[in-house]
Amino acid sequence: MVEAPQTDEGWFALHDFRTVDWDAWRDAPERERRRAIEEGISYLDSHEAVEDADAGTSAVFSVLGHKADFMVVHFRPTLDDISRAERQFEQTALAEFTEQPTSYVSVTEVSGYVSDDYFEGNKEDIDTGLLRYIEGKLQPDIPDDTYVSFYPMSKRRGEEHNWYDLSFDERRELMSVHGDTGRKYAGKIKQVIASSVGFEEFEWGVTLFGDDPTDIKDIVYEMRFDEVSAKYGEFGEFYVGRRFPPSDLGAFLDGDAVPTSEFGDESHHHAHAHDEGGHHHGESGPHHGESGHPSGGDGGHHGDDHPHGDADDSDETGAEDIRGQLDDLNIYAGKPHGEDVYATVLYSEADADEVFEEVEGLRGNFDHYPTHVKTAVYEANDRDRNAVVSIWETASAAETAAGFLSELPGIVERAGEESGFGTMGMFYTVKPDHRSDFVEKFGVVGGLLDDMDGHFDTDLMVNLEDENDMFIASQWRSQEDAMGFFRSDEFRDTVQWGRDVLADRPRHVFLA
């Protein structure tokens, strides 16, 4: 009887192929596309971070050709883990725009062809390098930013050439020669071979990773001449693609080159489309340029001094002037980490809980960007409207975020768009015991504001998640009108009173 080689199994694998219904995608409302991208990014990010299991690795790849549009690869310790990962994708809004033309389930393994000692319990006799090689085969990682080729294969069981009729020694020799060919590509190609015997029509799934796609072609081509492939190999369809980070999902669906970090010109163009008033349906959040900071913004926002902005010196001088005057009044004027912060404030007349539910999804996406400080929903203290506040370290990022937030339900206006200066967002953290005192004091100050020249509107807004976090958004005709109030005796007295009721100094942010 022919001897079957021993095997040891490691992590289970799922190659999940997806096609996009492009007609449905193009016809879908902007809000639905945005939600699909947000939930897609959240899913991919959480699985790349392996938040769903004790161990493993995941990645997403674009796929070229008609067979699929993208592929998500998961390696997990158990079959239940990858089953859950597959079903969790189906819960996302992105899944509504996709079909699964095929998939592949397998489990990583090493066999007796590799080492007798490993299976005979003599691991202390195994070379350290070989042992690490075996461990890497059983629990593989996925290289960053690389091309991929996946294909299934089996060993032939024909009348003339039947792999399973050969003796163990014959098979081991053929596999050894085959391995010699593969070792020529060490450092160029990473190979993951997983068994699908009993799981799929084919017996193995082979995944090749390489920085140069021609290396993938060359290794497959050269191995075809090895006897083990020439006589005994049978292959299924090949899939080729390119890894990209989850944050590039929007760019991928827009038809941009991904990873965007390697295609600076395309990424820059993509970001500029937002600055000129348009919002691509595939945009997934404040877009990053080559430096890793949100791109975009044509200046025009006082205090925008980040290296990608076009703000002129007069804008910066104005910002410094405001900061200096506010600092003299003991008001914190931005610069939490040596940078200005900018707030986008949009008002909604929809139900606060409905707005919050939508914002919570966007906020999860915004948190992936290093320039994001905070996004929250605030409810007006004495009128029927809510405010969505999104704070960023650059004006351009706040501007881009505004494009997404403008799709929220019930949006009626954006602070600063009405007319005039629209500058003042004053944030306060109130000591819990003095909350009612603060609200009462605002009523007094609000009465003073109503009588001031150049004052249009002021709201006291309360954070739905923290009633002690409040902000006062004021609309003024001009900077000078606003600063006139801040220089007044009434405001100075209010600042002095606030030292006893506030947990921290008030913080002013510029409205982007």
Q: How many CB atoms lie within 10 A of CB 490?
A: 13
Residue with tokens 């990873």: 259
Residue 439 is predicted with a pLDDT of 87
Q: What's the pLDDT at 326?
A: 56
CA distance 217 to 185: 11
Distance of CA 107 to the CA centre of its chain: 28
Vertex 85 angle, CA 261 and 238, to 5°: 65
- Report the topology of domain 7-243: Alpha-Beta Plaits (3.30.70)
Each residue's pLDDT tens digit, 434-481: 888 888 888 887 777 777 877 877 878 899 999 999 888 777 777 777
| Active site amino acids | 151
- Return the H-helix or E-strand segment holding 386: strand 386-392
Bridge partners of residue 149, in order along the sequence: 208, 240
Strand partners, 377: 388
Low-confidence ranges of the chain (pLDDT < 50): 265-319, 332-339, 418-420
What amino acid occupies position 69?
Answer: D
Q: From 225, 246, 237, 150, select the one nearest 190 (Cα to Cα).
A: 150
> What is the model's pLDDT at position 216?
96
Could you give the CA distance from residue 68 to residue 252 in angstroms, rounded to a whole number? 14
- Which residue shows structure tokens 């090749």? 208
Return the pLDDT at 323: 56
Query: How far apart are the C-alpha atoms of 355 and 199, rounded to whole Å?
Result: 45
Residues of the chain with CATH 3.30.70.1030: 7-243
pLDDT of 347 reads 84
Please confirm whether the linkage preceding 140 is cis (ω < 30° from 0). Answer: no
- Cα distances from 192 to residues 3, 161, 275, in angstroms, run 25, 26, 44
Encoded tokens for 500: 């006893």
CA–CA gap between residue 509 and residue 323 (Å, rounded): 10
CA-based nearest residue to 393, from 333, 338, 315, 341 = 341
Tokens of 8: 């040891």
**Of 136, 228, 237, 122, nearest to 174 (Cα)?**
228
**For residue 88, what are the CA distances in angstroms to 109, 148, 382?**
26, 24, 42
Q: Could you tell me the pTM of the whole model?
A: 0.55
How many whole angstroms separate alpha carbon 74 and alpha carbon 92? 17
CA angle 404, 359, 283 (to 5 degrees): 30
Residue among 355, 362, 320, 365 nearest 463 (CA): 355
User: In this structure, what DSSP letter does residue 341 have?
Assistant: -
Question: What separation in angstroms does the CA of 259 have from each of 72, 146, 251, 263?
Answer: 15, 10, 9, 7
Location of each CATH 3.30.70.100 domain in the chain: 313-511
From CA 417, how far away is CA 413, in angstroms rounded?
A: 7
- CA-to-CA distance for 75 and 60, rounded, in angstroms? 12
Architecture of domain 313-511: 2-Layer Sandwich (3.30)
For 452-483, give the DSSP string.
Answer: STTEEEEEEEEETTEEEEEEEEEEES-HHHHH
Angle between helices 479-486 and 313-328 (to 10 degrees): 10
Q: Could you give phi then psi for residue 455, rounded to 5 degrees?
A: -95, 130
pLDDT of residue 290: 32
